[in-house]
Amino acid sequence: MTEQQWETTDDAILMIGYIWGVTNDSRSPLPKLSRGMNRSHHPSVELHRYYLACCRSIWPLLPQKASRRGIELAELWVDGKVSNVELNKFNYYVEGAAFNIDYNTEPDSIEKWIADVRANDSYRHLLHPPAAADRLAPREILKRAAYFADYAMVYPSLRPEGPPPETYRPFLSAELLRRFVAFDDISNSQAGS
């Protein structure tokens, strides 16, 4: 990927693949954190911050308190203000929020959230591309958003080796990614690995 492509693409998955060095299905991991590296600007930490920011950008699609609190705790964890134990303990509730929608455990609440999404067409601008709203039912959008919040919360513990699952594409903003990861940062880290 060239710098111009990086600056103009709307495909965040493609950009994340480039960050990971994914080409033709061959994966090369991000450079490992090592002694003396600035942890706060390491590409994996920046990706974690990015995923959390993506969750903030879809806040209206995360109507459950557990999903929102999980994102807040993960933001504090990235800044070193919450322990692994606290973060992992709360993940039970964030995953439960996704299960709640997936398995329809609170039908009245879920129907209200679906009605809210249907009634407010402005949620389309939260998705990438906005036309994703035409392909996905409101319930599916809410379910995927809840699972994405869970993914974003525990991202470092997943030991990822590439872009997130395709089902999360509608929540990934290329514009937002450019705010967290500069093309030069990637080029420099790949040249040094």
Residue 38: the pLDDT is 44
Strand partners, 26: 23
Closest CA to 69 of 166, 82, 37: 82
Query: Tokens 């439960």 correspond to what residue?
Result: 96
The string of pLDDT tens digits covering residues 23-35 is 434 444 444 433 3
Which range has the worst mean pLDDT, 44-48, 99-103, 155-159, 187-191?
187-191
Question: Nearest 5°: CA angle at 31, between 27 and 32?
Answer: 115
Residue 132 confidence (pLDDT) above 60: yes
**Where exactly are the structural domains of the chain?**
3-19+40-191
Residue 189: the pLDDT is 60
Residue 1: the pLDDT is 87
Q: What are phi and psi of 163, to 5 degrees?
A: -60, 160
**Can you tell me the mean pLDDT for 154-160?**
84
The string of pLDDT tens digits covering residues 44-90 is 888 999 999 999 999 999 999 999 999 999 999 999 999 999 999 99
Strand partners, 150: none
pTM of the model: 0.89
**Cα–Cα distance measured from residue 190 to residue 193, given in angstroms and rounded to the nearest whole number:** 5
Is residue 178 packed enough to be buried (19+ CB in 10 Å), middle (13-18) or exposed (0-12)? middle
Q: What's the pLDDT band for 161 if we cut at 50, 70, 90?
A: confident
Residue 57: the pLDDT is 97
The string of pLDDT tens digits covering residues 59-69 is 999 999 999 99
The string of pLDDT tens digits covering residues 163-174 is 899 999 999 999
Residue 35: the pLDDT is 38
Helices and strands (H, E) in the chain, number of each type: 10, 0
Mean pLDDT value across the chain: 87
